[in-house]
Chain A
């Protein structure tokens, strides 16, 4: 599992053909109680850095960006009914979308350790 500077995570499948995308625990926390999640449409083609939906909490809608180019093959429909799940298990059950990967992830990718350090530095001050 890798993390982006915008607090998304991406996990590649073992055959490297698909990936699962979600937001980190840190992000879910920073947003507050999520009241609505806009999911992408299946079959949409996205480029790295494109928005694939949004997470809304107390009147702020924050875009979720895909770290990788690909085609949306599955979205987590349960989130449409229970958006609050993303506050409970953002890095597990409350994944957002699965993509058929069409290239390398772009932008800075961090492993769990690096990401932890990154968020600690962001909070310091």
Chain B
């Protein structure tokens, strides 16, 4: 089977990637419920970079007080969203590769814990291809030292269909991370390709390498097909009537 990469060529709001991924997950689930009527989508990885956004994992849902919200949104310059993924609070913004693999783990014979390992391995291999030595520590994610994290990870699974994924810092403005205890880990810092001296790389090309590394590790995948997700820019408007407070 072919792994489909859906790449957004410009920075997008988190909500757009979220809607696209939900649509794919819904389609996968519908096909599981009615395998004789519906064919599942191909395994897909959405790659993009977001406008400044803080996302919270499931555990943090109830910690979003009006005070926290106003601190995080920094007078409306950053969006704040709770999600159903694992993990805690992290930042996404221009210069960070966000990759959301939407897969049926059963089709690739993966258990949830194996999938997390596979994601980490693909990020580590991607960093290596750009001359950065990264590794796992006892804290989930990908690190370049005991205290410096280069990529965050948080996944959601429903009936073994995955959503959410990784955030790999290429040229992210790291000062946004100073405002939170990223992923709930005190005393750790976030780094990027650029802060480590690897400059001039685009989110697009790092994304392409990451998808290649994932394709190599996913059983049953023989090739990658690249698709421009730019056609989905209006997806939120197409799927739901725009409410005043969404503007």
Once bound together, how far apart are the Cα atoms of A56 and B184, in whole Å? 15
Q: What is the chain A residue whose CB lies nearest that of B219?
A: A125
Q: In the complex, which range does the number of interface residues on chain B fall in?
A: 20 to 34
Q: What is the chain A residue whose CB lies nearest that of B113?
A: A32
Which of A10-18, A59-67, A68-76, A94-102 lies at the interface?
Answer: A59-67
Cβ-Cβ contact count across A and B, 8 Å cutoff: 74
Which chain B positions have C-beta within 8 A of A32?
112-113, 116
Once bound together, how far apart are the Cα atoms of A69 and B120, in whole Å? 38
- Binary per-residue interface labels of chain B (83-127) against chain A in the complex, 1 for a CB within 8 Å, 0 otherwise: 011110000000000000000001001011101100000000000
B52 at the interface (CB under 8 A from A): no
| Contact present for A30 and B109 (CB under 8 Å) | no
Q: Which of A30, A49, A65 contacts B112 (CB 8 A)?
A: A30
Assuming A36-B59, A38-B58, A54-B58, is B113 touching A59 (CB within 8 A)?
no
Q: Which of A38, A61, A122 contacts B157 (CB 8 A)?
A: A61
Once bound together, how far apart are the Cα atoms of A59 and B106, in whole Å? 19
| Contact present for A31 and B113 (CB under 8 Å) | yes
> How many residues of chain A get a CB closer than 8 Å to chain B's CBs?
21
B155 at the interface (CB under 8 A from A): yes
Which chain A positions have C-beta within 8 A of B31?
none
A51 at the interface (CB under 8 A from B): yes
| Contact present for A61 and B57 (CB under 8 Å) | yes
Which chain B positions have C-beta within 8 A of A59?
57, 85-87, 116, 140-141, 153-155
| Contact present for B156 and A61 (CB under 8 Å) | yes
B51 at the interface (CB under 8 A from A): no
Q: Which of B33, B106, B111, B155 contacts A61 (CB 8 A)?
A: B155
| Contact present for B157 and A58 (CB under 8 Å) | no
| Contact present for A51 and B158 (CB under 8 Å) | yes
Which chain A positions have C-beta within 8 A of B236?
none
Which chain A positions have C-beta within 8 A of B227?
none
Q: Which of B155, B156, B160 contacts A6 (CB 8 A)?
A: B160
Shortest 9 CB-CB contacts between residues of A and residues of B: A30-B111, A61-B86, A32-B113, A60-B155, A63-B158, A62-B157, A59-B87, A59-B140, A59-B86
